[in-house]
Structure 1
Amino acid sequence: MKKQYSAAALLMFGALATSAQAQDASRIQTKVLGEDNQPVLVQFNAEGKMAYRGASSDQVLRQQLGLTTADQMVQRSVETDQLGFTHQKFAQYYQGIRVEHADYTVHAKGGVVESISGDFEKISGLNITPSLSEKAALAAATAHVGASKYMWQTNEADAATFRPAGELVIVRDNRKSAENGPLVLAWKFNVYAAEPISRAFVYVDASNGAVVMTDAIIKHAAATGTFATAYSGSRTIADGTTTGGYFLREGTTRGLGIETYNCKKGNSYTAATDFVDADNNWTSAEYNNANFDNVAGDAHVGAQATYDYWKNVHGRNSYNNAGAKIKSYVHFDDVPGGAGYENAYWNGSVMTYGDGATRFRPLTALDVCGHEIGHAVCETTANLTYANESGAMNEGLSDIWGASIEAYAVANLGFTSGGVKAKSTWLIGEEIDKQQAALRSMSDPKSLGQPAYYKGQYWVATTSSPSNANDQGGVHTNSGVLNHWYYILAVGKSGTNEGGGTYAVTGVGIDAAAKITYRMESVYMTASSTYAQARTFAIQAATDLYGAGSAQVTAVTNAWFAVGVGAAAGGTTPPPTTTYCTVKGTSQSYEWIDLVNLGSINRTSASDAGYYNGTALSTSIAAGSSQTIRFSAGFASTAYTEYFKIYIDYNQNGVFTDAGETIVSGSSASTGTLSGTFTVPATAKNGATRLRIVMSDASATTSCGTFSYGEAEDYTVNITGGAALAPATLTGEATPIGNELARTLEVYPNPATTAIQLLLPGNAEATSVVVTDIRGARVNGTSFSNGTLQIGGLAKGMYTLSVSDGQKVFHQRFVKE
């Protein structure tokens, strides 16, 4: 049903006056913008902190986010941390409807607002009236899941509680873009499938019934598991007594309890039974049997160790910080009596462990247990959406907690290596994997097929249609970047990264690294956080804990640089600190930038999902010198006409629109290397600045914003021998490419009376031809065959052709005489 809030329950905000905006700007110390140009972090200077002393959170958010009367921020929680900060968390609503994944936090200390952070969606004119009923939307959601049976159709005692109820929300349509699709009104359902098992939030467009997004609740971690006494030797366990013996149920010593049950190779939780031992001496002679019953002990002590870690290291009372009971079910099989279930997962309520088969031993190792409960921690803190970059960090954080809990248990709880393989902090799932060293390596991700560098080798491109088939956009692969960052931060490392940058990081130790990461996750991250935002939040978390300019802040910053996210803190020439507008192509199905070469910058690549941040790569160019830049387009098949625009921010003011800053402009349909020669103005400002290359199939594309087909890339150039200060004016004109002719849809003769000829780029065959009039209405009276369009039946006037070659659509006007 539609969930709305009354005016009394909402914080209502008005628009800002221009004078107020100017006043607020003077209060800001740092403002970091996201790809949508909305602030993800705003820190206030001394003046701003005084201005906001005792101010209400609604006033701060109203002024800094520019909220209108249609925007509401509903308080979700207020938490005070060990540093004395109070974090007031808000959920965004638009005309009373929840804006999914959009949350903002006001951070204050001693009654003074220090900063605000989060994800805010700027919305205007969105229709909030559904044209699709909740019933029809649920039918679309279940059709999308395609299960043969759902949990509400089973014989479970609480089966009816799983029947989904619809909630109207506003969410991004991920079919249009993996990260930045348009906002739509949607029905949200929690769909729990029993056969095959899955559980996810499914979002159905409330206007047309299309599934626009899914967010997995059961994280299908095919490389994860839980641990048992089979893996950690003889452990002291806390359990309970029952008639005739002892069972694996600890009372309320740890929160509301730790409980472990036996699914008996079935898939029913309500049919699960207790493990019972007569004398509370759970020996290997009794439990190291053909059923692997000893793994029940591993799941139990693994949950206990995980609880102890969160309580003793981070002061967190169970995964939800409210003492939630941790329930584990072992010997689970999705097909009752089947060949063995090769998975483990957190289903939103309980832990579930299979016995493995060909690939895995029983999935109950300690780091896997910590990993899975780590998903529960994320769900109750940042709640990172389980797809693409946010999903990769969701997985990465769980690996981080799995490794940290394993290290903690070995160092502080006396855990040993009791299985076939020894425990290794920086390997994930090493004890359960039968086929290779481990599932993932945090110290050397590439050794097991994961990227160690953002959008580097092994990076999986994000997708607008995340599913289990594509690992929700590579979440178990791209997590390698966050994993490696954490390893470098904790242990330290030096070398040259894939972007050619040299780095040297002094490790801060796993305890400090964990505290920084936990604060990043629990205080600053939101559901839609990206890797770039994680860097911003990690630096802020380290600053909160250890102070600005501390060794820990330097290590955090340089560890991010080492894995290709952002600039180094020192020792390497960083890209400019000026904030630049974002730019990105939404589709690379047919073309992308595959070469950029200027001086020592020489990068060839495949598609980079619309944008590549190459600011870690730099070259020096002298003021007054003549330079040649080389570049080219890559194509999936047909070579289309592409428009290249290349910019250098010579005066370092954060924009590319000043005179003389467009250094190359032109079009080409060539697959070969193109070039442009330009002269660096003598008045260019000394130092590091931004080089931006934009390639689009549309001539109107500019240096900022999103565009349809193509890509953009950013690099750093260091100006030498120029002006000490930014020049007042620049001179120069863009160099045309000049060595190729543009090829588009050709229409001739034009005007015409009876017929026109159509010629597509590369002499491609037209698969669809549509004619519309000046109103945009489709018209009849034409026929097309063999490249000829018969137009004798049309009235005189101007028309528009839309012609497709099966990949892209070209538009051209013609006149019927």
Structure 2
Amino acid sequence: MRKQYSAVAVALLGALAATTAQAQDAARIQTKVLGNDNQPVLVQFSPEGKMAYRGLSGDQVLRQQLGLTTADQMVQRTLETDQVGYTHQKFAQFYQGVRVEHATYTVHSKGGTVESISGDFEKISGLSTTPSLSESAALTKALAHVGARKYMWQTTEANAAEFAPQGELVIVRDGRQNAEAGPLVLAWKFNVYAAQPISRSFVYVDARSGQVVLQDNIIKHAAATGTFATAYSGSRTIADGTTTGGYFLRETTRGLGIQTYNCKKSNSYTSATDFIDADNNWTAAEYNNANFDNVAGDAHVGAQATYDYWKNVHGRNSYDNAGAIIKSYVHFDDVPGGAGYENAYWDGVRMTYGDGATRFRPLTALDVCGHEIGHAVCEKTANLTYANESGAMNEGLSDIWGASIEAYAVANLGFTSGGVKAKSTWLIGEEIDKQQAALRSMSDPKSLGQPAYYKGQYWVATTSSPSNANDQGGVHTNSGVLNHWYYILAVGKSGTNEGGNTYSVTGVGIDAAAKITYRMESVYMTASSTYAQARTYAIQAATDLYGAGSAQVIAVTNAWYAVGVGASYTGGGTTTPPTTTTYCTIKGTSQSYEWIDLVQLGSINRTSGKDAGYYNGTALSTTVTAGSAQTIYFSAGFTSTAYTEYWKIYIDYNKNGVFTDAGELVVSGSSASAGTLSSTFTVPTTARNGTTVMRVIMSDNSATTSCGTFSYGEAEDYTLNITGGAALTAPATLAGNSTPLGNEAASTFEVYPNPATDALRLALPGNAEAQDVTVTDIRGARVAGATLRNGTLDISGLAKGMYTVSASDGQKVFHQRFVKE
């Protein structure tokens, strides 16, 4: 018998506790900005919140604000204090001890008080962290995907063995299915460096299916004191060193050093030699020769100027902020003695410059150098994934740094224009391009085939299969939006954009624009940041540096508006969270005997255990179209006996904050089954567009309604995004329909014989095939020695005793005890 007690008392106490907790949490938050997955990307605390969290460690704040479970861990990676007195404590996310790739969160404090938190947090539940594919098998898949003729570890380089890929198990989004929000999978991660043809990337192989789910390129294509007559910047003073026979292009005055080498038109780094000059006067007569040896000077002074810019403007000590050596290799050719290599790249270790051919002159121009080392800075800060929107911003940021470094060097270091073309701050690669004005224009992106407006003319659609063939989802094209935003922020501009909206931005100057952008990148952005999130973070960065409502905050906001990202400035200095509808509370009092353990509709697919009577799953969402038929799957978990449970599923189609309107009860029925149930319903054509709430209730009482508390069971809320319906006003009538839910026979997970000696037969509900079978001992520790074949578990290798076997049917996980004799 189930214990009976006063439902009224529980209802009053439950409602009071929920109301109090919600009120406390709301009072602590000044602003909360949500990402596409409805997880917070930025939370700013109110004075009450700052006081409440004062003295707490960063991981404690994150545990409370992000709702972390025992399976989630936030591990501190860095702790830095910036030039304006903020301390940034950056955490990496782990799930059941496995790194969640690209998921980081930062706690921002000042004077010991937590001001805000920001980042990317992945809400994970029920994901197995046990691979079924070995590391070696996964590496074979990764190499087949890259398809190189030769890899770096197969070359004769002295340190070739260092490049042999080592697999790391991570959790990552499957980039094939959805460009921004594919499902999370367990994957093997490899750093694959190919020598022929040149490439270097992180390759992620699904640890179950063996499919390559993501490729994140590491190589991003761009295109003593002496004097050096450079090819592009006139005669420059250089810092170098002495060696046998004269002077060579190595110095130790900046960080741990700057070094420049000669690949001699080969693809070998270990065979590269030094450029040596007898008197440290590197004249044009000596180096402006048929081999373009004068470009060695451009690479060397370009690295010096880039180091000086980061150090003097942003207080950053080399690209890693730890003084890392900047190595440059010129005269590189991927085919030794070939026609000329038409690229320059940063490979995670060094700068590599080709001599160009039909399209480019030697690619050692100053803005190219600043661009490529900008990729290194990004790798050490935001680490933006090199595909789709995040990849476009990775490229855009490098263009921003290339332009900013060129402008800095001209204004502060005396750089001049020494090549065929003059330097131009807002053109990228203008000095190396033989065929057109430049590679890209930041002031007029459309003049060179880039978009100046988010998803406007020339925008390349994002893709679920980014590759070199589609420019990783248009990274070198869609970067134009970020480039133009930066230009407008620095210089100012007025006009009418492609959305038909008029704008007027007063420029803040390139120095302030650069400081805001660097803070956006280094403090707030994460690997998966989108353009919308970049807007949020840029506004916050400007607020940190110049204050809420400042001219800089206004300019940042309106510059984003000009390029089609977000609204214009309306006051307050920060983004305003969207207005949300408040729904009545709902909660089951006891989960001693039953609970909801599966809800699946579209991209919502959550398996769970007991959630204390209510689970707020509004961070999980799926899109449905008005007029479409939808099938929802759900199931109950039971401690032992499968009781009859009453299911009710509501959708607030007209978004008025209640579930009592006609047609909003889309599922109603009972079942005594532990199996997966389903019901089909049709979304009304008059349903209102936008996000709304779907409420799932499982109760032992048929009289349970959409609000309040009930005795046994649980309720869960999720988010639906309705498209193709009513645009502005709530519909007058809602003609929804659903198929009836039958009362299915109860069934359980059975194991026999029990006790057993050598073999244990597994029978899942509905005769489903057993998957992910594990065996644990009485301490709960996982044990080896049991293997599954054709539904029978071989336990001959286990010691005598009591065990628990857990098996999944692909959605639910079932548990049963057995005795090994």
TM-score by length of 2: 0.71
Query: Which residue of structure 1 aligns with residue 382 of structure 2?
Result: 382
Identity of aligned residues (%): 81
Shift of 1:677: 12
1:493 match: secondary structure: strand
Looking at structure 1, the residues matched to 577 and 89 of structure 2 have their Cα atoms a distance apart, in angstroms, of 29
Query: Which residue of structure 1 aligns with residue 747 of structure 2?
Result: none
Q: Quick check: 2:328–2:350 contact (8 Å CA) kept in 1?
A: yes
Looking at structure 2, the residues matched to 284 and 173 of structure 1 have their Cα atoms a distance apart, in angstroms, of 53
Shift of 1:693: 10
- Residue 358 to residue 575, structure 1, CA distance change in 2 (3 Å): same
Looking at structure 2, the residues matched to 510 and 233 of structure 1 have their Cα atoms a distance apart, in angstroms, of 24
In the alignment, structure 1 residue 57 sits paired with structure 2 residue 50 = no
Instruction: Give 1:396-407 correspondences, 5 Å limit.
Output: 396-407=396-407
Query: Which residue of structure 2 aligns with residue 447 of structure 1?
Result: 447
Instruction: Give 1:411-810 correspondences, 5 Å limit.
Output: 411-570=411-570, 578-579=578-579, 692=690, 704-705=719-720, 732-733=732-733
Q: Quick check: 1:656–1:703 contact (8 Å CA) kept in 2?
A: no
Shift of 1:245: 0.7
Query: Which residue of structure 2 aligns with residue 233 of structure 1?
Result: 234
Shift of 1:54: 1.4
Code of the residue aligned with 1:465 in structure 2: it is S
- Residue 44 to residue 408, structure 1, CA distance change in 2 (3 Å): same
Q: Quick check: 2:78–2:91 contact (8 Å CA) kept in 1?
A: yes
Shift of 1:123: 0.3
Shift of 1:501: 1.0
Query: Which residue of structure 1 aligns with residue 115 of structure 2?
Result: 114
Query: Which residue of structure 1 aligns with residue 148 of structure 2?
Result: 147
Shift of 1:52: 1.0
Code of the residue aligned with 2:393 in structure 1: it is M
Q: Quick check: 1:21–1:63 contact (8 Å CA) kept in 2?
A: no
Q: Quick check: 1:86–1:109 contact (8 Å CA) kept in 2?
A: yes
- Residue 491 to residue 657, structure 1, CA distance change in 2 (3 Å): farther
Looking at structure 2, the residues matched to 657 and 470 of structure 1 have their Cα atoms a distance apart, in angstroms, of 46
- Residue 397 to residue 642, structure 1, CA distance change in 2 (3 Å): farther
In the alignment, structure 1 residue 270 sits paired with structure 2 residue 267 = no
Shift of 1:25: 2.4
Code of the residue aligned with 1:160 in structure 2: it is A
- Residue 124 to residue 358, structure 1, CA distance change in 2 (3 Å): same
- Residue 677 to residue 103, structure 1, CA distance change in 2 (3 Å): closer
1:254-309: CA deviation from partner (whole Å, max 9, x where unpaired): 00011100000000100000000111111111101110000000000000000000
- Residue 642 to residue 219, structure 1, CA distance change in 2 (3 Å): farther
Q: Quick check: 1:366–1:406 contact (8 Å CA) kept in 2?
A: yes
Query: Which residue of structure 1 aligns with residue 38 of structure 2?
Result: 37
- Residue 566 to residue 659, structure 1, CA distance change in 2 (3 Å): farther
Query: Which residue of structure 1 aligns with residue 163 of structure 2?
Result: 162
1:312-358: CA deviation from partner (whole Å, max 9, x where unpaired): 00000000000001000000000000000000000000000000000
Code of the residue aligned with 2:171 in structure 1: it is I
Query: Which residue of structure 2 aligns with residue 323 of structure 1?
Result: 323
1:483 match: secondary structure: helix
Code of the residue aligned with 1:310 in structure 2: it is W
Query: Which residue of structure 1 aligns with residue 672 of structure 2?
Result: none
Code of the residue aligned with 1:70 in structure 2: it is A
Q: Quick check: 1:585–1:712 contact (8 Å CA) kept in 2?
A: no
Query: Which residue of structure 1 aligns with residue 336 of structure 2?
Result: 336
- Residue 259 to residue 137, structure 1, CA distance change in 2 (3 Å): same
TM-score by length of 1: 0.71
Looking at structure 2, the residues matched to 469 and 712 of structure 1 have their Cα atoms a distance apart, in angstroms, of 34
1:376 match: secondary structure: helix
Looking at structure 2, the residues matched to 480 and 422 of structure 1 have their Cα atoms a distance apart, in angstroms, of 22
Code of the residue aligned with 2:306 in structure 1: it is T
Q: Quick check: 2:663–2:735 contact (8 Å CA) kept in 1?
A: no
Query: Which residue of structure 2 aligns with residue 370 of structure 1?
Result: 370
Code of the residue aligned with 1:47 in structure 2: it is E
Looking at structure 1, the residues matched to 358 and 243 of structure 2 have their Cα atoms a distance apart, in angstroms, of 37
Looking at structure 2, the residues matched to 714 and 331 of structure 1 have their Cα atoms a distance apart, in angstroms, of 62
1:73 match: secondary structure: strand
1:605-648: CA deviation from partner (whole Å, max 9, x where unpaired): xxxxx99xxxxxxxxxxxxxxxxxxxx99xxxxxx9899xxxxx
- Residue 284 to residue 656, structure 1, CA distance change in 2 (3 Å): farther
- Residue 522 to residue 47, structure 1, CA distance change in 2 (3 Å): same
Shift of 1:704: 4.8
Q: Quick check: 1:693–1:714 contact (8 Å CA) kept in 2?
A: no
Instruction: Give 1:295-314 correspondences, 5 Å limit.
Output: 295-314=295-314
Code of the residue aligned with 2:400 in structure 1: it is I
- Residue 274 to residue 703, structure 1, CA distance change in 2 (3 Å): same
Shift of 1:775: 8.8
Q: Quick check: 2:229–2:236 contact (8 Å CA) kept in 1?
A: no
Looking at structure 1, the residues matched to 114 and 100 of structure 2 have their Cα atoms a distance apart, in angstroms, of 25
In the alignment, structure 1 residue 94 sits paired with structure 2 residue 95 = yes
Q: Quick check: 2:173–2:184 contact (8 Å CA) kept in 1?
A: yes
1:107 match: secondary structure: strand
- Residue 228 to residue 204, structure 1, CA distance change in 2 (3 Å): farther
Q: Quick check: 1:228–1:365 contact (8 Å CA) kept in 2?
A: no
- Residue 76 to residue 641, structure 1, CA distance change in 2 (3 Å): closer
Shift of 1:119: 0.2
1:64 match: secondary structure: helix
1:98-154: CA deviation from partner (whole Å, max 9, x where unpaired): 000000000000110000000000000101100000000000000000001000000
Code of the residue aligned with 1:386 in structure 2: it is Y
Looking at structure 1, the residues matched to 564 and 24 of structure 2 have their Cα atoms a distance apart, in angstroms, of 36
Q: Quick check: 1:397–1:482 contact (8 Å CA) kept in 2?
A: yes
- Residue 143 to residue 21, structure 1, CA distance change in 2 (3 Å): farther
Looking at structure 2, the residues matched to 362 and 319 of structure 1 have their Cα atoms a distance apart, in angstroms, of 23
Shift of 1:221: 2.5
Looking at structure 1, the residues matched to 690 and 455 of structure 2 have their Cα atoms a distance apart, in angstroms, of 18
Q: Quick check: 1:585–1:706 contact (8 Å CA) kept in 2?
A: no
Code of the residue aligned with 1:104 in structure 2: it is Y
Shift of 1:229: 1.4
1:673-703: CA deviation from partner (whole Å, max 9, x where unpaired): xxx9999xxxxxxxxxx96499xxxxxxx99
CA RMSD, 1 decimal = 3.5
Q: Quick check: 1:538–1:556 contact (8 Å CA) kept in 2?
A: yes
1:388-412: CA deviation from partner (whole Å, max 9, x where unpaired): 1100000000000000000000000
Looking at structure 2, the residues matched to 287 and 415 of structure 1 have their Cα atoms a distance apart, in angstroms, of 19
- Residue 396 to residue 404, structure 1, CA distance change in 2 (3 Å): same
- Residue 585 to residue 130, structure 1, CA distance change in 2 (3 Å): closer
How many aligned residue pairs are there? 620
Looking at structure 2, the residues matched to 269 and 112 of structure 1 have their Cα atoms a distance apart, in angstroms, of 49
Q: Quick check: 2:263–2:329 contact (8 Å CA) kept in 1?
A: yes
Query: Which residue of structure 2 aligns with residue 6 of structure 1?
Result: none
1:303 match: secondary structure: helix
Shift of 1:22: 4.3
Gaps of 5+ in 2: 1-16, 582-600, 604-621, 631-651, 665-683, 693-716, 737-765, 770-821
- Residue 234 to residue 54, structure 1, CA distance change in 2 (3 Å): same
Code of the residue aligned with 1:82 in structure 2: it is Q
Looking at structure 2, the residues matched to 559 and 456 of structure 1 have their Cα atoms a distance apart, in angstroms, of 16
Structure 1 runs of 4+ aligned residues shifted over 6 Å read: 640-643, 649-653, 655-662, 676-679, 711-715, 774-777
Code of the residue aligned with 1:56 in structure 2: it is S
In the alignment, structure 1 residue 292 sits paired with structure 2 residue 305 = no
Looking at structure 1, the residues matched to 75 and 726 of structure 2 have their Cα atoms a distance apart, in angstroms, of 38
Looking at structure 1, the residues matched to 579 and 378 of structure 2 have their Cα atoms a distance apart, in angstroms, of 30
Shift of 1:570: 4.0
